[in-house]
Amino acid sequence: MLETRTLKILPDDEKGHTDDPVVITQGKSIMNGSGLDIDNRSGMTVLRGRVTGTLYRNQTKTP
């Protein structure tokens, strides 16, 4: 999930941009940044500013 106050979308270029704070969560993992650039064609997402976060790996059970 991506949370931000505003996100400018450029559908023809398949890009998005915000200068507002961003929070990205997936499961228990969380990343914070002060801005974001998304390029759907290249598959790149860049958090800008002072980026902080905590990443948790998936734990698989072995028999």
pLDDT for 35: 97
Assigned domain for 63 exists: no
61 inside domain:
no
Alpha carbons 63 and 56: distance in angstroms, whole number: 22
Instruction: List the domain range (segments joined by +) for residue 26.
Output: 2-54
Is the model's pTM score more than 0.85? no
- Tell me what pLDDT residue 63 has: 67
How much is the mean pLDDT over the chain?
94
Q: Does 17 reside within a domain?
A: yes
Specify if 59 maps to a domain. Answer: no
Number of structural domains found in the chain: 1
Could you read off the pLDDT of 25-42 as tens digits, one per residue?
A: 999 999 999 999 999 999
Owner of token pair 């228990």: 28
Indicate whether 60 belongs to any domain: no
**Mean per-residue pLDDT, 41-55:** 96
Order of strands, sheet of 35-39, starting from the edge strand that comes earlier in the sequence: 8-10, 15-18, 35-39, 44-48
